[in-house]
Amino acid sequence: MRCCGGSLPCPRAALRLELVLRCGQAFRWRESSPGHWTGVLADRVWTLTQTEERLCYTVYEEEEEEEEGSSTKPKQRDVQRQGEEAAGSLCSEPSPREPGGGTDSCEAQQILHDYFQLDVDLAALYQAWGAADPHFQQVAANFPGVRILRQDPVECLFSFLCTSNNHLVRITGMIERLCQAFGRCLGQLDAEPYHTFPSLQALAGADAERRLRGLGFGYRAAFVSRSAQAVLKQFGTKGLYQLRHVPYPEARRLLCTLPGVGAKVADCVCLMALDKAEAVPVDTHVWQIARRDYGLELGAGARSVPLRMHRELGGFFRRLWGPYAGWAQAVLFCADLKLFRQRPSAGRGPSGEPASREAALAHRRPTSAPAAGQGSAWPGATEAAAAPSKGQRGARRKRCSGEPDCTSPGCAPQGGL
Asked whether the beta carbons of 239 and 231 are under 8 A apart, the reply is yes
| Largest distance between two CA atoms of the chain | 70
Report which of 26, 271, 15 is spatially closest to residue 147, judged by C-alpha positions: 15
Return the SS3 of 25. Answer: coil
d(CA 279, CA 321): 12
Q: List, edge to edge, every strand of the sheet that includes 44-50.
A: 2-9, 54-61, 44-50, 36-41, 30-33
Among the options 233, 238, 264, 390, which is catalytic? 264
Rg (CA), the chain: 21
**Is position 390 annotated as part of the catalytic site?**
no
d(CA 103, CA 262): 38
Q: Is residue 370 exposed (0-12), middle (13-18) or buried (19+ Cβ within 10 Å)?
A: middle
Question: In sequence order, which residues have a C-beta less than 8 Å from that of residue 58 and are 6 or more positions away?
Answer: 3, 4, 5, 46, 47, 82, 83, 85, 86, 90
Asked whether the beta carbons of 337 and 23 are under 8 A apart, the reply is yes
Return the SS3 of 316. Answer: helix
- End-to-end alpha-carbon separation of the chain, Å? 33
H or E stretch at 60? strand 54-61
Give the DSSP letter of residue 89: G
Return the SS3 of 47. Answer: strand
Catalytically active residues, by annotation: 264
